[in-house]
Amino acid sequence: MTSTFRTLTVPLDGNASAGGLPQFLVRDDVLCWTRREAGLVGFGELTRFTATGPERFLEADIWWRHLVLEADIADSVELPGTGPVAFGSFAFSKKSAHESRLVVPEIVVGVRDGKCWVTQMTFDDGELTEAGALAALAGWLSGGSTQGEVDAEPDAAVVRPLPAAPGATLHTGSLSEEDWMAAVAAGVEEIRTGALEKLVLARDIVATVPSGVNAAKVLRELAVRYRECWTYGVDGLVGATPEMLIQVEGRTAQARVLAGTLDRRDAHGEDGIPMDYAERVLAGSEKQRHEHEIAIQSLTSQLAPFSEAMNAHDEPFILELPNVWHLASDVKAELTEVEGHVPTCLALINALHPTAAVCGTPTLVAGALIRKLEHLDRGPYAGPVGWLDAAGNGEWGIALRGAVIEDPHTVRLYAGCGIVDGSQPEAELAETWAKFRPMLESLGFGN
């Protein structure tokens, strides 16, 4: 006879979490999803699910629904992200050897709309109490590995200089810069034949950090510096993505689509206001707008069968990040019942992934060309990453601007670019370096 899955969610003293979630990033094994000091962090591991292959999303969905179906849930807060929660990371490709996973932590801390809470999860038969949940949280925090590097009450508005990583070096990944540019040129030629409209090509580089990689510190730096992004951490996958694949709250689904990028360093030496430069060069570029339109059409057409109403920006807006500007559009949809049920987060992801923003279009043609040209298993890069709860709420970003910590001294970074007719290999290579910048800075490779 198996034990019952039980959870207790209780309010957390607001004074104890005045600094927001970044102050809880004190362990290298922390599970993390945070934006603007709000979100969720998890400690420990109660159970997990892993899968590979084309059915990985649906298999994970079934596993999670079975887990929470008969769970004993006590929740006095009742917000999205309270009660049972799992953090997840999924491989980009159905052909990847990388295991997709859902991880159920022992303790979750949440911050949302000025409210803070802690959830304890267990299979044990002992009584769950507020005092016990708070004590368990304190135990995890006292075992943090950052050794005082995280302030007790961080000021998110203060962006401090980043310390250098002594002896840190960068190495070529799966392809040299020259070979990757040749792959871009080959992709452009395929597009010109009419075989496809858009292709997204990624590349990797490897960072070696002799002094050691402090994952919690990396996450904290990302959370503070890239507040408009969603900072994520799951099993050594870390990053700060600006792109929301799908966010579900009740019957409302939202997404943020990005396509079109301009390095902010390109504005150095330009007259006038930098944002005016971005409007002129990015929003005024036929190539960039075409790439963006493809990405929007990809998402809205895939989301339409699950929606009874949908709206998107008529015109993309400029998303300003510390390293780049993007053309961005927000999409909002009211979900409809499919076979008597509102679709779950993972069912939506199964339908939406991969979008044209990270793969290309048509999807099957682009996917085959990616495998031919990249010489790279993307693993979790550009795959969905985020969380879901028992009520069907969840937030799933696309794992961009990120890296995989392969061992205590080795990190593999990923970046990709949308390739369309007119793309120039040298410019696309420069764009990947702009997209590497958040992780490189957080690892101590300079501003």
Closest CA to 256 of 292, 219, 208, 306: 292
User: 3-state DSSP call for residue 15?
Assistant: helix
User: 3-state DSSP call for residue 17?
Assistant: helix
Out of 37, 59, 106, 198, which one is annotated catalytic? 198
Listed in sequence order, the residues at least 6 apart from 438 whose beta carbon sits closer than 8 Å to its beta carbon are 222, 225, 226, 239, 240, 322, 323, 401
Quickly list DSSP for 37-66.
TEEEEEES-SEEEEE-STTHHHHHHHHHHH
Distance CA 414, CA 393 (A): 29
In 251-323, DSSP assigns E strands to: 252-263, 307-312, 317-320
Q: List the structure tokens of 262.
A: 């301009």
- Greatest Cα pair distance in the chain: 72
Out of 190, 221, 243, 395, which one is annotated catalytic? 243
Give the CA-trace dihedral at 183, 297, 287, 315, to 10 degrees.
-150
Q: List the structure tokens of 388.
A: 């879901």
Closest CA to 256 of 386, 68, 72, 89: 386
Cβ atoms of 126 and 65 within 8 Å: the answer is no
Q: List the structure tokens of 89.
A: 């990371």
**Which residue is associated with the tokens 């008597």?**
340
Three state DSSP letters for 140-189: HHHCCCCCCCCCCCCCCCCCCCCCCCCCCEEEECCCCHHHHHHHHHHHHH
According to DSSP, the β-strands at 6-11 and 85-89 are unpaired
**243 assigned to active site:** yes
**DSSP-assigned beta bridge partners for residue 307:** 335
Pure H helices in 308-362: 345-352
How many whole angstroms from its chain centre is CA 9?
25
Q: Is 177 left (phi over 0), alpha (psi -120 to 50) or beta?
A: alpha
**Which residue is associated with the tokens 């507040």?**
227
Rg (CA), the chain: 21
Q: List the structure tokens of 188.
A: 């452009």
Active-site positions read 198, 243
